[in-house]
Amino acid sequence: MLTEQLLSIGVNHFLTISVILFGLGMFAVMTRKNAIVILMGVELILNAANINFLTFSKYNGGMEGVMFSLFVIVLAAAEAAIALAIVINIFKTFKTVDVSSVDTMKE
């Protein structure tokens, strides 16, 4: 039953998860004020994109998706490193990581 159920997992399931992840990530990026939480939201979005890549790679039978997802993972690592460094610098300058209060270039 379970196997059957497992076997019946198809493209739609993967895409559904990916959409949910993307939606959560988007929600986090759009609503949170803490820079680190926003970063985490970005990671969620990236991972949703990875799931998409891998899903289409598995069902289309090519290696391009895998390659792209590897690139994305590397990119996400690099991005996380730089973004965190930026966040630390923001904190050093403004004594906060609240992005809504970091707006001195507004006017």
Nearest distance, CB of residue 107 and another protein, angstroms = 8
Strand, coil or helix: what is 10?
A: coil
DSSP state of 95: S
| Residue 24 binds to another protein (criterion: CB under 8 A) | no
Helices (H), the chain: 2-7, 11-31, 35-60, 64-94
Out of 21, 38, 49, 76, name the contact with another protein by CB under 8 A.
38
Minimum CB distance to another protein smaller for 66 or for 87: 87
Nearest distance, CB of residue 100 and another protein, angstroms = 6
Whole-angstrom distance between the N-terminal and C-terminal Cα of the chain? 63
Angle at 102 between CA 100 and CA 105, to 5 degrees: 120
Residues 43-102 that bind another protein (CB under 8 A): 99-100, 102
Nearest distance, CB of residue 52 and another protein, angstroms = 16
Nearest distance, CB of residue 61 and another protein, angstroms = 28
Question: What is the spatial distance between Cα 54 and Cα 68, in angstroms, rounded to a whole number?
Answer: 9
Binding-site ranges for another protein (CB under 8 A)? 26, 29-31, 38, 99-100, 102-107
